[in-house]
Amino acid sequence: MKILSINAGSSSLKFTLFELPEKEKVASGLFEKIGLAGSFYTIKLNGEKIKKEVNIPNHTVAVECLIKELLDMGIVSSLEEIEGVGHRLVHGGEEFSEPVILNEDVIKRVSYYNEFAPLHNPANLLGVEAFMKALPGVINVGVFDTAFHQTMDKEHFLYPTPYEWYEKYGVRKYGFHGTSHRYVYGEIAKYLGKDNLKVITCHIGNGGSITAIDSGKVIDTSMGFTPLAGIMMGTRSGDIDPSILEYICNKKGITISEATNELNKKSGFLGISDISSDARDIEDAAANGDERAILAQNMYSDKIANYIAMYNNMLGGADVIVLTAGLGENSSLMRKLILDKIASLGVELDESKNDFRGEFRCISTENSKIPVYVVPTDEELMIALDTLALKEKN
Ligand code: ADP
């Protein structure tokens, strides 16, 4: 059966159409600049890509366009073939710890968390509403970035702030990238044939987070109340001393929002290197001897190594370390920098196995105390599989 996996942003809508249970990617594409001048979409089918520039004033029109193309291009012969639509939803607060079937009531409850993720949740829900209109009667399922982390215990999700901040205002660690961490955990557990594994999953892409998982339960994760926390990222600072905010606001005469924006958009690789947020540009500059690019790489690998060491301790010794997402899957150099920094844990990289991109592979030596695997992530597939599972249950 065919299931659509959707990731709607404020001005974009990304889709992948899967044939399940075969896990075959039938088609995928992206609608961009929705509601802006110059909107267009691209669709990939059988290795070919088409691009069309059309006026797309809102998400409803984007979804109408998508459905028309699916029919016109012969990707589906009738709309009845699409048996479910899974949506990435960023924030489900403490209420949603699992994927959920979406209806008007659930949408209202999800919107309660909009203020926790103002850039993402309202946009995600625009996608949901557009599909409900376009494909009435088809099941819509919401899969939350935060859900997997709801298995964390209080001693790990609470900040040592006044308890009232948590009780009255919901200040706690929620964690993100949960769908990716859950997917790669599932893949490695399946591969090793064990369901009681202690795993440290490192999702290191443009955004990044590290998670400690014991037998499918999250023990701790590096992102926090928002995706700004944890390791250094492409443009995000990760953890810093919170007092810096007031100090820099006073010094620069800027507001908290402006300073927070700098931490989100002008920090990380970009902030340190002054070159780019993209790890490939940093690698090129570092290869040419750029000191700040080298500094950025060293800081980045340091933060990740330190989280791995901390989580190894929390787990009482990890069974496996998994690297995934843009850098984890593709950057041999960053994999080496990170693994060299956790040599004290007995981790040993096998350099002869490290020169590759985007494959499932073990990259540690036989002597390595903790084996290290690269496991390509697939959040779209996870969302489609969750949608199928809920469809079959109901
Ligand atoms: P997003 O968080 O946007 O989904 P990705 O997981 O796609 O991000 O990761 C993007 C990051 O991965 C970028 O910094 C990019 O430079 C990096 N990356 C992708 N391919 C390579 C590569 N071959 N070498 C080094 N870095 C890479």
What integer pLDDT is reported at residue 119 of this predicted model? 86
Place of tokens 């981790």: 347
pLDDT digits (tens, 9 = 90+) for 273-297: 999 999 999 999 999 999 999 999 9
Distance of CA 230 to the CA centre of its chain: 14
Ligand 1 atom closest to residue 207's alpha carbon, by position in its atom list: 2
Adjacent-strand bridge partners of 25 = 18
Whole-number CA gyration radius for the chain: 21
Choose which residue among 327, 332, 336, 377 to substitute to test ligand 1 binding: the one with the highest number of ligand atoms within 8 A of its C-beta.
Answer: 327
Is 241 catalytic? The answer is: no
Specify the pLDDT at position 198. Answer: 98
Atom of ligand 1 nearest to the CA of 334: 25
Residue 215 identity (one-letter amino acid): S
CA 165 – ligand 1 centroid, Å: 36
Give the pLDDT confidence score for residue 298 in this predicted structure.
98
DSSP helix/strand/coil, 237: coil
For residue 364, give the DSSP letter.
Answer: B
For 334-359, how does the pLDDT look when each residue is reduced to its tens digit (9 = 90+)?
999 999 999 999 999 999 999 999 99
Given the CA of residue 281, which atom of ligand 1 is nearest to it? 16
Q: What pLDDT is recorded for position 219?
A: 98
**Pairing relationship of beta strands 198-204 and 48-53 according to DSSP bridges:** unpaired
Residue 202 pLDDT? 98
pTM of the model: 0.96
The 3-class SS string of 127-192 reads: HHHHHHHHCCCCEEEEEECCHHHHHCCHHHHCCCCCHHHHHHHCCCCCCCCHHHHHHHHHHHHHHH
Model confidence at 394: pLDDT above 90: no
How many whole angstroms separate alpha carbon 84 and alpha carbon 88?
A: 13
96 contacts 144 by C-beta, under 8 angstroms: yes
Q: What residues flank ligand 1, with Cβ below 6 Å?
A: 205-207, 234, 278-280, 283, 325-327, 330-331, 357
Q: How many CB atoms lie within 10 A of CB 238?
A: 24
Q: Average of pLDDT values for 201-221?
A: 98
Residue 324: per-residue pLDDT: 98
Q: Which of 72, 105, 145, 195 is catalytic?
A: 145
Q: What percent of the chain has pLDDT over 70?
A: 100
Range with the lowest mean pLDDT among 61-70, 87-96, 118-127, 197-206?
Answer: 118-127
Closest ligand 1 atom to residue 203 Cα is 6
Which residue CA neighbors atom 16 of ligand 1 most closely? Answer: 279
Task: Name the residue with the closest Cα to ligand 1, atom 21.
Answer: 330
Q: Give me the residue label for tokens 């929620």.
A: 174
User: What is the 181 CA–ligand 1 centroid distance (Å)?
Assistant: 17
Average pLDDT, the chain: 97
Query: Mean pLDDT throughout 119-134?
Result: 94
Q: Tell me the percentage of the chain whose pLDDT exceeds 90.
A: 98
